Amino acid sequence: MFKNLVFASLFGLSAVVLGAFGAHALKEILTPEQLVSFETGVRYQMYHAIVLLFVALFEGFSTKQKQLINGLFYTGIILFSGSIYLIQLLSISAKSIWFVTPLGGLLMIGGWLSMIIVFLKNKKNNQ
């Protein structure tokens, strides 16, 4: 659990740092459209950092379930938000890594879907 709390906190910390960087340093460098894209990466990273804290602390998940959910969210954050950061900060063509961002989004969706399945199974078992 400790490791997961640290990773969740690191994702949250870096989201705040990147958000501040975007709001101040990138305002003069990126176009308004590029800045909105960058902020989307930051926002999704922060949302998932918060849910990772929940996953780490929630006692209704087994260790195996936590590993699956965390893996989906960790990889989703890195691919989704990371690809957006690369595209905006390093001027990497979105066409060259077109599949990375949606794949990250699908992994995030998979994490949420996994949580829903666990919740529904737990409800069924507790009835």
Residue 126 has pLDDT above 90, yes or no: no
pLDDT of res. 1: 78
pTM of the model: 0.93
Q: What burial class does residue 79 get, using C-beta atoms within 10 Å of its C-beta: 0-12 exposed, 13-18 middle, 19+ buried?
A: buried
Range of the domain at 59: 2-125
State percent of the chain over pLDDT 90: 87
State percent of the chain over pLDDT 70: 100
* 58: confidence class by pLDDT, cuts 50, 70, 90: very high
User: Which is more confident, 79 or 95?
Assistant: 79
**Residue in the block written with tokens 């399945």:** 117
What value does the mean pLDDT of the chain take? 95
CA distance 20 to 64: 35
pLDDT digits (tens, 9 = 90+) for 1-11: 789 999 999 99
pLDDT digits (tens, 9 = 90+) for 60-85: 999 999 999 999 999 999 999 999 99
Number of domains in the chain: 1
